[in-house]
Structure formats: structure tokens, C-alpha cells
Amino acid sequence: MTAALSPAWSSGQASVSRTKDAYGATEFAGIAVNGQINASIETLVEPAPRLGWQGAADAPVSRGELLVRLRGWPVGRPAVRYWGEAAQAEAVAVARARSDASDETAPAAVSKAARRWLQLYEEGWFRTGDAVVIDHRQQSDDPRGRIIVAGRVGSKSELYWKGRSVWIAADSIAGRASIAASVAACVVYCDRNQPRPVLLVLPERSAAKPLVAATPAVTVLVDVLSSLLGPRAAEAMTVTALDGGLAAVAPDLPSDAALEAAGLRPYEVPAGVVVVEGPWSAEDGQLTSTGKPRAFALVSRHRESLDAAYAGFEALQERLAEPLREGGTGGVPVRAAGSATAGDGEIDPSRGRAEGSAAASHPTSPGRPTSLSLRIPGRAVLQPRDPSAQAEAATATGTGEASAIGTLSAAELEGRIAAAVDDC
């Protein structure tokens, strides 16, 4: 073999391609390399009801479970199968249809889905069990599209969005978020009573050095949102630091156009991040033997911080939704400008803090704070246009050094924002 290869290499006729990501299954190898689907393989994207994905109907970005078969596969020849499965093909199809049901589906619907799976099986399609996204927009010259493997169809995390349960592919969100330069590794935490996930992030050491010491999580969250949505959409979102900068939340959402361009549902956009110290290792049970984060172990260890981030997210959403004054339309967010040097508001909505901190309860929601500790370490975005008012605002908030405003009641906070809006 060496002799056969040597002339090609020595003559420079061999072409070299860097393989970043090869995808396949034990039963069906070589499906895709670097997101490009093998030309000898046909693909079919079927709906994944528990994820709310509609398969090929979601085109031009198809989302669902991937089925594959070889091109030219004989009609009527079943797909790859296991020993004894042929005699139980119908029972297997029914079991799979039941596992796919998004709720207590009627028997007739399960029967219809089972017949569909049985038909595909008889036509030679192999069900990978992988949740994928095939984007036909990024590779217009290739009708096969570009494939992204989001995780296993059975690997679903539940959230509660606008009065109903929804499921997301947490592995997909974690994978896309991990592309961010400031993220070494992350896991996605979903509270089934919350509308959006929170990320537990181990920051990249080299990328963490230039972060502002007081608010590292703000920069990490902006970086993650930029990876998911693009820098422009991320910079337009509200990002607020919590817990001394070890957590940050984004209470609002990007535009529908930004979501569509990113191929995300609104409930797939992270509500916040919690930054933790590392390193993670297999010895302490935080990584698998192959170096992948153990989500359950990590979430269990940092559950208190993750729940506190959700509490801050809820409190901030309530503050932004409350009227500034009688007849007002709602709160005005303090926006981070998307960089470590921008002015990042900090709100600490901790439940029952000690030593001089506000711990009053919300009159309608027990355990919710009615006052917020607000600090503005840089410039405020809400700047009045009048020069004299600008000078007063600069004196009040500080323009370079961190300036603590102290603990403000909800009414005082609303009054300050209302005054700034009146002067604009």
C-alpha cells in the first residue's frame, strides 16, 4: 500500500482535505463529512413531534429525524435490520410511533404513524434516530443541502412556552453555543416550568483573560448569542449581569427575522448563562471518558446557581413588563452594547439577601423581590439629549469607574427611567 501511494504523494497529485466532522452510524457509515452529505446516499427528514419539528415541511431548513438509504436501493428491499426484526417489523413500527407521540395521541394517529414507519422500512430507509437540521440555503449549488446533527431524537428537554409544553434538542443548543470563542464547554439546563433554557458555561481560559472582572458572564452571554443569532441580533438584545457578574440573563428576544435567519425557535434562545470555574475532569465525574460534559452531574452540582439565574430572569422580565407610570406601556431595558467595555447594568434579585440588602416580598408573588440592587459600571444607554441633563446623568451614574447607585425600590427605579425617557 505504501508503494502504491508514494508516487501520488511525491508527485503532488494527491489532494488533502481537513476533516473537521465526520458523521455516520455503525449500521450506516459515511453519511456526511464536514456537513456535506455523501453523494451516494439519499436522505429523508421525517417529523419529530416531540421537538415540534415538521421534517421536510420546514423547508428550506428541514428539521426532524434523519432516514438514509443508498442511491439505487432496490424497490421493495427492506432496510438494514437486526436479527429477528423482520418477523416483528410491525410491532417495532407501532412501538416507535408511540414513542414519538408528543402527547396522549389517539390510537388511530399512532396506527397511521406506525403504517408510515413500516412503509419507509419496506422501501429501504434506515432510521438513524438522530435529530438533524438540513439547510438548503447555505449550499445553493448542492441540492442535498448542509447537514447539522442536533442530537438524538430521544434526547429532549422540556420547557413551558406560552401555556404549553415544548421540547428542544439541548445537545444542538450546547453544540452551537460551544462555538463561541469564550466558551470551553457548556451544558444546557431546562426547567420545565420556564420558557427558555439557561447555559452552564466553563469559560475558555485564553478568552476569559480580557473579560471585565466584575461582569464576565455578560461578555460570555453576548458571545454565545452572537454565535447562535449573529452579532447584530445579539447586540440588539438586553443583557444584564447577576450575582456579581457570575451570571447574566437576556430577558427579551431577537426579532422574528433574526430567529428565522438563525433557524431557531424563540424558546431555543438561552435566557442566560452561569459561568463556573474549572477545569472539569472525568476523575471528579464532570466529564465522560471521551471528554464530554456530564450534564446531570454538572447541573446537580450547580443547581442553586442555575435556579438563581432563573429567578433573576423572572424578576427582570416582571420589571420590564411593569408600567413606568400610570398609563405607561412598560419598562425600558438597560442594554449591553455587546462588548466587555460597554455599560452593563447589574440587577441582583436574590431571594432574602442578608446584611443590608432588600428582602421584601412581592405582594402577589411570595418570595419575589420588590427592590433591585442596580449598578452601572460603565455608560448608561438611556442618555437624555439635553446637555445639562446629560451632565446630571453622568454625575449620577458614573462614566468610567463603577458607581453604585445602591438599592432602589421598584418605584424609585421606575422614576429614574421615566425621568430619562422624559428628557430624551
Q: Which domains does the chain have, with CATH numbers?
A: 1-153 (2.30.38.10), 342-423 (no CATH)
pLDDT digits (tens, 9 = 90+) for 122-149: 788 888 888 888 887 765 566 778 888 8
pLDDT of residue 349 exceeding 50: no
Strand locations in 195-288 (E): 198-203, 240-242, 247-249, 272-275
Closest by CA to 329, choosing from 341, 321, 319, is: 321
Provide the b/e sequence for 338-359 (b: ≥16 CB within 10 Å): bebebbbbbbbbbeeeeeeebe
Sequence-separated (6 or more) residues with CB below 8 Å from residue 80? 27, 28, 126
Residue 220 has a pLDDT of: 92
Band the pLDDT of 398: cuts 50, 70, 90: very low
Length of the chain: 424
Measured distance CA(43)–CA(145) in Å, rounded: 10
- Which amino acid is residue 87, in one-letter code? A
Evaluate whether 286 touches 255 at the Cβ level (below 8 Å): no
pLDDT of residue 67 exceeding 70: yes
DSSP H or E stretch at residue 363: none
pLDDT digits (tens, 9 = 90+) for 211-268: 545 458 998 999 999 999 999 999 889 888 887 778 999 999 999 999 998 889 999 9
DSSP code, position 68 = E
Residue 201 has a pLDDT of: 94
Closest by CA to 376, choosing from 407, 353, 401, is: 401
Residue 95 has a pLDDT of: 61
Q: Cα dihedral angle (356, 357, 361, 362), rounded to 10 degrees?
A: 140
Measured distance CA(31)–CA(29) in Å, rounded: 6
Cα angle at 382 between 356 and 235, to 5 degrees? Answer: 100
Provide the b/e sequence for 64-77 (b: ≥16 CB within 10 Å): bbbbbbeeebeeee
Cell digits of residue 393: 446623568
Name the more confident of 279 and 363: 279
Rg of the chain, C-alpha, whole Å: 26
Residue 265 CA from chain centroid, whole number = 10
- Which amino acid is residue 26, in one-letter code? T
> What does the pLDDT average to over 318-328?
57
Share of the chain above pLDDT 70, in %: 58
Evaluate whether 368 touches 314 at the Cβ level (below 8 Å): yes
DSSP H or E stretch at residue 102: none
